[in-house]
Chain A
């Protein structure tokens, strides 16, 4: 999967490596800023108030 993705990146090895790094960082940012904040609301450790 990753080998396939890497093979389909354009340009020189240097450019490919840069693109791959940027893609990884983008995915991590998406997880940290969008996915995880949405997911954590179903976790129990955020429930600190009283109520049903």
Chain B
């Protein structure tokens, strides 16, 4: 019986009630029971506090996973609902006065759409392969705050229906994960971009995985710096593999059809 735990026949441990007796009292060395009990009590408290901290840390990590895998999707769904609503309203209003007339040779081309504020919706993307309900609003800008709202159009690249490359980046794993299934697209798959008064139907022409520094895939003619574009292209980018920043998945497409909304939905969206 040399331990600090008071046995049934022992008097109560004085160390608990009279801590001042122990401070700097050399006699406690010869008497292990009170000092040891005090130390054990302290060690117990420390261990318990540490355990509580570790459990708390574990709960915070679990909460963060919940946030990433679920809560961000809720945020994005709410924002997308709002963006759809705003876009509907904006498209019902008469369009802004047309921009200065295009040069004579390009009269057939619709006037370029008015500039869009960062974070505002500019088009609806529809991909039949991703299902009928897939219709994320593409927003202007690719800052973190813009991409939380939806797939983002890289400012400065062509707008839909403009000559050049309409480049859109989107989340693959969080915030509604609009581009999570980009790897399933096959050559020839339609990508339909809906704007105020028409649908632009692009067809996938190819895809590749590149390193993150390959800005040249966003050029008006991808990977051909300085070349003047002659086609309307679309390029979608997202991270690859999922949850990683090591590479980017790039999907290329080319405009094949323009359908005015007055003529109904384009063939690519029918027949489902």
Residues in A lying within 8 Å of B, measured CB to CB: 1-2, 28, 31-32, 36, 39-41, 43-52
Q: Give A39 to B63 CA distance when docked, in angstroms.
A: 13
Segment touching A, from B28-36, B80-88, B91-99, B234-242: B234-242
CB distance from A16 to the nearest CB of B (A): 18
Q: Which residues of A contact B72 (CB under 8 A)?
A: 40
Contact B215 A50 (CB under 8 A): yes
Question: Is chain B's binding surface mostly helix, strand, loop or mixed?
Answer: mixed
Contact A44 B239 (CB under 8 A): yes
Given the interface contacts A36-B64, A44-B244, does A51 sit within 8 Å of B212 by beta carbon?
Answer: yes
Q: Give A16 to B247 CA distance when docked, in angstroms.
A: 51
Q: Give A47 to B239 CA distance when docked, in angstroms.
A: 6
Question: Is chain A's binding surface mostly helix, strand, loop or mixed?
Answer: helix
Contact A51 B215 (CB under 8 A): yes
Given the interface contacts A1-B49, A31-B60, does A49 sit within 8 Å of B67 by beta carbon?
Answer: no
Further contacts, 17 of them, CB under 8 A, given A45-B244, A46-B174, A50-B217: A1-B49, A31-B64, A40-B67, A40-B68, A40-B174, A41-B144, A44-B245, A44-B246, A45-B173, A45-B239, A47-B245, A48-B239, A49-B142, A49-B237, A50-B215, A50-B237, A52-B212
Q: Give A36 to B68 CA distance when docked, in angstroms.
A: 9
Interface size on B, residues (CB 8 A): 39
Q: Which residues of A contact B257 (CB under 8 A)?
A: none
| Chain B contacts with A in 181-204, Cβ cutoff 8 A | none
Contact A46 B144 (CB under 8 A): yes
Contact A48 B179 (CB under 8 A): yes
CB distance from A49 to the nearest CB of B (A): 4
Q: Which residues of B contact A39 (CB under 8 A)?
A: 64
Contact A31 B239 (CB under 8 A): no
- The residue that B172 contacts in the complex, of A43, A45, A50, with Cβ under 8 A, is A45
Contact B64 A48 (CB under 8 A): no
Contact A48 B63 (CB under 8 A): no
Contact A48 B67 (CB under 8 A): no
Q: Give A48 to B210 CA distance when docked, in angstroms.
A: 12
CB distance from A36 to the nearest CB of B (A): 5
Contact B213 A52 (CB under 8 A): yes
Q: Which 8 A-B pairs have the closest CB atoms?
A: A44-B245, A47-B245, A49-B169, A45-B243, A48-B169, A36-B67, A50-B215, A45-B173
- The residue that A47 contacts in the complex, of B64, B212, B215, with Cβ under 8 A, is B212
Contact B169 A28 (CB under 8 A): no
Contact A50 B248 (CB under 8 A): yes
Most chain B C-beta atoms within 10 Å of own C-beta, residue among A31, A32, A39, A50: A50
| Chain B contacts with A in 243-266, Cβ cutoff 8 A | 243-246, 248
Q: Give A36 to B60 CA distance when docked, in angstroms.
A: 10
Contact A48 B238 (CB under 8 A): yes
